[in-house]
Amino acid sequence: MWRFLRWLLILLVVAALGAGAVVRHYHQQAHTPYRAFEGDEQFVDIPQGEGSRQIGARLIAAGIVRDDLTFRVALAITGEARALKAGEYQFTEPQSAVDVIHRLARGDVYTRALTFREGLTAAEMARHFEQSGFGTAGSFTEAVRNASLIADLDPEARDLEGYLFPNTYALPRTATADDLVRRMVALFRAAFDEALRADAARQGFSVRDVVALASLIEKETGLEAERPVVAAVYRNRLRIGMGMQADPTVIYALMLAGRWDGNITRADLQFDSPYNTYRYRGLPPGPIANPGRASLVAALNPADVDYLYFVSRNDGSHVFSRTLAEHNRAVREWQIEYFRNRRHQPR
């Protein structure tokens, strides 16, 4: 009996040592970088609501994690079995199972950045969308026609021009033009918040009016300090019934007609379009570009000045004038004489 118990004890000790060796092996393996896929990169898409067992199977099949036991040991080490997040993940370098789980728990999903600067038209955004490799310009243009996304704020809208908020968007590989446009409109709503909407209503402006005015401001200046002053010029003109006479509205009208060639002629100022503010008084019938928040704020908070005119200094800044005589002198200095002098400068 004693001999039997002694051998049993020996067997238990050996088994315990063996189990300990197995645990140490998989513990070390869970921390060891691993990569079994071919090519430069591997993508793994984790669907919403999938459990850790199914996630582990996907990672193993993709050559990201060595085997099921290694994955389960890594889950035990990290304690993040319930924290794994859905999304598409990109893998390039060898990573340990522990590091892979940490990535999934952080939600470090793969995205590509797409940046739209302030003042682009929807058509320009569509071309940028295609040139950046996210899809066709046509698909973006089609998505922009979904005016229902903004109907509660602007019942007159026939498309989303003005409501595509300029920003940098992090997009998954599967994102469609429709997905992006919905996000852009959602961000516009966040930027043109309830406080700004209430301010517009108090001042007697519709959302469409404010966005149209903000689009003019955005196209006329990129300087933060000038936005409220440009806003004041246009609001002063509106107040006294003077035409906006804004070159960007002529350009937009020509673009819509497919006639814009990069230059405005005297004849273009008479081009018959409701967007041409040289022919039609008041704001254009809708936004002519997609403004950022600073221009939206400036439209409702103009500077306390009585300027009616401004002309470019050709460096991004402008000279503002109260009278037509002052304005004509500024035009002579900064347009006629400036370019005449440049033509006569030695090269």
Q: How far apart are the first and last CA of the chain?
A: 110
Distance CA 54, CA 63 (A): 15
pLDDT of residue 2: 54
| Tokens, residue 160 | 């989303």
Same domain, 48 and 135: no
Residue 214 belongs to a domain: yes
Per-residue pLDDT band at 310 (split at 50, 70, 90): very high
| CATH number, residue 67 | 3.30.1490.480
Domain total in the chain: 3
pLDDT of residue 340: 72
Domain final position from 106, 136, 165: 106
Residue 219 belongs to a domain: yes
Q: Is the pLDDT of residue 160 over 90?
A: yes
13 against 183, higher pLDDT: 183
- Return mean pLDDT, the chain: 91
Per-residue pLDDT band at 11 (split at 50, 70, 90): very low
Q: Is the pLDDT of residue 7 over 50?
A: no
Q: Is the pLDDT of residue 179 over 80?
A: yes
Residue 332 belongs to a domain: no
Residue 254 belongs to a domain: yes
Same domain, 178 and 226: no
Residue 287 belongs to a domain: yes
Residue 80 belongs to a domain: yes
Same domain, 235 and 294: yes
Same domain, 51 and 151: no
Weakest-pLDDT range from 69-73, 135-139, 332-336? 332-336
Same domain, 81 and 183: no
Same domain, 167 and 202: no
Per-residue pLDDT band at 9 (split at 50, 70, 90): very low
Same domain, 214 and 279: yes
Same domain, 95 and 79: yes
Q: Is the pLDDT of residue 203 over 90?
A: yes
pLDDT of residue 24: 75
pTM over 0.85: no
Q: Is the pLDDT of residue 308 over 70?
A: yes
Q: For the chain, what percent of residues have pLDDT higher than 70?
A: 90
Same domain, 145 and 89: no
Same domain, 97 and 38: yes
Distance CA 201, CA 75 (A): 55
Contact yes or no for 185/164 (Cβ under 8 A)? yes
Contact yes or no for 160/150 (Cβ under 8 A)? yes
Q: What residue type is 114 in one-letter code? A: L
Domain final position from 89, 106, 123: 106
Q: For the chain, what percent of residues have pLDDT higher than 90?
A: 84
Same domain, 223 and 302: yes
| Mean pLDDT value of segment 262-283 | 93
Residue 277 belongs to a domain: yes
pLDDT of residue 12: 42
pLDDT digits (tens, 9 = 90+) for 24-52: 776 788 899 999 999 999 999 999 999 99
Domain final position from 57, 73, 106: 106
Strand partners, 11: none
Per-residue pLDDT band at 334 (split at 50, 70, 90): confident
Same domain, 199 and 303: yes
Q: Give me the domain span that covers residue 279.
A: 193-307
Residue 343 belongs to a domain: no
